[in-house]
Homo-oligomer: A and B are copies of this chain.
Amino acid sequence: MFSKACEYAIRAMMFVSQKSKAGERVGIKAIVNGIDSPEYFMAKILQELSRKGLLQSTKGPNGGFFMDEAARKVTLDKIVSAIDGDKVFVGCGLGLKACNEKKPCPIHDEFKLIRTKLKNMLETTQIGEFTENLEKGLSYLRRN
């Protein structure tokens, strides 16, 4: 569904969002430890997210990544788009380039419905929504 890079991105954003709400900045090491992802790969992904303005960072001692209130309201589809592009949202389920309303593939309509649901879910879910459950230990971000 999503690429590994995208999965890491989402989890990292959730992690940073949680810490930011508590007023903390988090370094790459802390993030990597918090969500159990590969360090250097994660660093590149965070740079990309930062470049696209989805999270903030400051250099120097006590620097690190953080998210202001606006960033914590960013919806999941923005993160997915930033890392995976729009392929999750636009491609044909059967890989047909020219599949569209006029020349639909056989599962075009059924597939569209699923995709609309997914899109809708991603567009209405803010990254900051998970903080509470994470704090309570009702959901979690590490992979093991």
Contact = CB atoms under 8 A, between A and B. Distances in A.
Question: 5 smallest A-B Cβ distances: which pairs?
Answer: A106-B130, A7-B95, A106-B139, A96-B143, A110-B121
B144 A105 contact: no
A94 B11 contact: yes
Interface of A: 1-2, 4, 7-8, 10-11, 14, 76, 88, 91, 93-98, 103-108, 110-111, 113-114, 117-118, 121, 125, 129-130, 133-134, 138-144
A97 B103 CA distance: 39
A134 B96 CA distance: 15
Contacts of A141: 94, 96, 105-106
Contacts of A7: 93-95
Contact of A1 (B1, B105, B144): B1
